Amino acid sequence: MAPGKLVLTGAYAVLEGAPAIVVAVDRYARADVGGPTGEVKVDVRALQTDTGQKLGLGSSAAALVVAYAARALARGEDPRHATVRAQIFQSSRAAHAREQGGGSGVDVAASVHGGALRYRLGSSPQSEAEVRAVDLPPGLVLAAFWSGTSARTSDLLGRVNGLRARGGGDAVFKALRAAAIDAADGVGNARTFVDGARAFARALGALGEAADAPIFLPAFTELSSRAERENGAFLPSGAGGGDVAVWLGTAPPSAAFLERAHDLSIAPLALAVDHGGVRPESPS
């Protein structure tokens, strides 16, 4: 099985060479190898809603990771071993980039390694990505919320890439990179990380406005402002446009915040950090 992910900070900025902070979560893609041809059957229902909508937890990346891991197991290799994981990551990242038309591979890394990671692309297309385990700081409150709407990451990336191609968003991208770096550098301290995430949320909103891309839904914009008044941060996890969002704070969101989220049809999503990464499923 392979866990899904939540990108906490660094969305879009990771494609500009900045670090992202991502965590693996306890929703899993599962796979079986069977039949005379060794066909791999992948199940990602745990990463979707009951009606089959994607939640934005990296189901496509987790599906590829668990498929490559299943093949490794069939060859007698243990996907928990570092060398096997490195191979799974490389294969899954390349396949995911082909399917998605690009991307950073941050969600693939979370599914392979588990836990909390600082992820940064190499300085050139040929360079290996930098993947480093980090500890989320004591006192950090992380909560996930479902928007009720699935988003097409490729559409949002297309608009952001269009802004980049026009050359009119240099200041916006520079601010986004700087905010992502500050947030990632502050991950060792809860208050500092939350402050950095709040600044990154503002930079992410500015990117959406400049690119005419709905990275922040109107409901997310309102809740982000409310989170600021509570000294927390609320922002899309990943590309935005719907899917899942995260609350980061040194205290849980208030009852008033949760009531307003409910009024806006933004629902809490029960998730915890997965620390195991891709692995064989324990016998029941």
pLDDT tens-digit map of 174-206: 999 999 999 999 999 999 999 999 999 999 999
Give a yes or no: residue 259 inside a domain. Answer: yes
Which is nearest to 107 in space by CA: 129, 135, 84, 78?
129
Domain boundary among 74, 108, 134: 134
Is 172 in the same domain as 122? no
Q: For residue 133, which of 110, 112, 109, 117 has the smallest C-alpha distance? A: 117
Tell me how crowded residue 150 is: count the other CB atoms within 10 A of its CB: 17
Q: What's the confidence (pLDDT) of residue 284?
A: 41
248-268: b or e for each residue (b if 16 or more CB lie within 10 Å)? bbbeebeeebbebbeebebee
Question: Are 185 and 231 within one domain?
Answer: yes
* Domain stops at, among 118, 134, 150: 134
Strand partners, 273: 25
Three-state SS for 243?
coil
- Determine the pLDDT at residue 157: 85
CA dist 174 → 156, 158, 179, 203, 216 (Å)? 19, 19, 9, 9, 19
pLDDT for 169 equals 84
Find, among 239, 218, 180, the residue nearest to 172 by Cα: 180
Which residues does 180 contact at the CB level (< 8 Å), separation at least 6? 9, 10, 13, 14, 18, 19, 20, 200, 203
How many domains does the chain fold into?
A: 2
CATH number, domain of 160, equals: 3.30.70.890
The CATH number assigned to the domain holding 109 equals 3.30.230.10
User: CB neighbours of 76 closer than 8 A, spacing ≥ 6?
Assistant: none
* Among candidate residues 99, 134, 169, the one where a domain is terminated: 134
In a shared domain, residues 160 and 126:
no
What pTM does this model have?
0.94
CA dist., res. 220 & res. 199, Å (int): 15
Place of tokens 């990451």: 153
- Residues 124 and 11 both lie in one domain: yes
Q: What is the pLDDT of residues 57-72, one digit of tens each?
A: 999 999 999 999 999 9
Range of the domain at 168: 141-269
Q: Is the same domain home to 147 and 262?
A: yes
Cβ(52)–Cβ(156) under 8 Å?
no
Low-confidence ranges of the chain (pLDDT < 50): 283-284
pLDDT at 47: 95
- My answer on whether 243 and 127 are in the same domain is no
Identify whether residues 85 and 150 lie together within a single domain: no
Say if residues 115 and 23 touch (Cβ distance below 8 Å).
yes
